[in-house]
Structure 1
Amino acid sequence: MTSLVLAAGYAAAALHFVFFACVVLGGFAAWWRPRLFWVHLGVAAYALGIVIVDWPCFLTEIENWSRAATGRAVMESGFIDFYLTGTLYPREHLMTSRVVIAAVVACSWAGAWWLARRRAARGREPFAVGGGG
């Protein structure tokens, strides 16, 4: 049982990294597959809610449950602070990192918009929800 709980915690941590990568880079995937813009919009909105509104993150809850159940220290302030702050960037540059991430997302969306306009000019659906790619 303990190994399953531990595996759930590791899976949640891995999914956290995937989620973070999707937040930062997912808009660029919409350049390739325009329908992914809507997925990225949802992911980015949820991430923004976690940061601004302090929504709970179910992955953090799963990882903390696993940590507590296996005798490890829980993450007091969440995934970003636990794994990334102080590792990828100095703690005092948290706001700078958020601004950079927001700029990367904005650039990806600007590119998606530009490509959508080009597709529309060619008579293709720019951000089709169903059908086409």
Structure 2
Amino acid sequence: MRSATVGLTVGAHLAYLAYLPSGGFLALRWPRSIALHIPVVLWGIGVVVFELPCPLTELEQRLRMRAGMDLLPESGFIDRYVDGKFYPEQRTGAAQALAFCAAGVSWIMLARKRQRRGHAR
């Protein structure tokens, strides 16, 4: 059972990482969802730029410890599950930059869409 909670935490973390670059594009279809996307992006910036601890990584570490599983490497979740699997090894910085650029592009598109709606009225 405890290893299942580790799996759920990993799944939540991967979902977060997928939502960060794509959530703004979803907001083009469902505009109210931007209210969730903004804090997701801001938290991501905090983790990357200000090296804030990731609560999902910390939760996974605690759950792994309780389940008697190997702990994540000191480098964390990204190095364990993402680096070299979803993008080339040792390219985390580039992947992060692309993710934040995608979020930014989606926000610009959303702002333009809202602007066009405002002019149409």
TM above 0.5, one fold?
A: yes
Q: What TM-score, normalized by structure 2, do the two folds share? A: 0.89
Match of 1:54 in 2: 51
Matched letter for residue 22 of structure 1: Y
Q: Which has the higher helix share?
A: 2
Does structure 1 conserve the Cα–Cα contact (< 8 Å) formed by 2:6 and 2:63?
A: yes
Match of 2:77 in 1: 79
Where in structure 1 are there 5+ consecutive unaligned residues?
124-133
Q: State the 4+ residue runs in structure 1 displaced beyond 6 angstroms.
A: none
Match of 2:61 in 1: 64
Shift of 1:13: 0.6
Rg: which structure is higher?
Answer: 1
Matched letter for residue 78 of structure 1: G
CA RMSD of aligned residues (A): 1.4
* Residue 35, structure 1, aligned to residue 32, structure 2: yes
Match of 2:88 in 1: 90
Does structure 2 conserve the Cα–Cα contact (< 8 Å) formed by 1:8 and 1:62?
A: no
Q: What TM-score, normalized by structure 1, do the two folds share? A: 0.82
Shift of 1:38: 2.4
Where in structure 2 are there 5+ consecutive unaligned residues?
none
What is the CA–CA distance in structure 2 between the aligned matches of 1:54 and 1:31, rounded to whole Å? Answer: 30
Q: How many equivalent residue pairs?
A: 120
Match of 1:10 in 2: 7
Does structure 1 conserve the Cα–Cα contact (< 8 Å) formed by 2:3 and 2:67?
A: yes
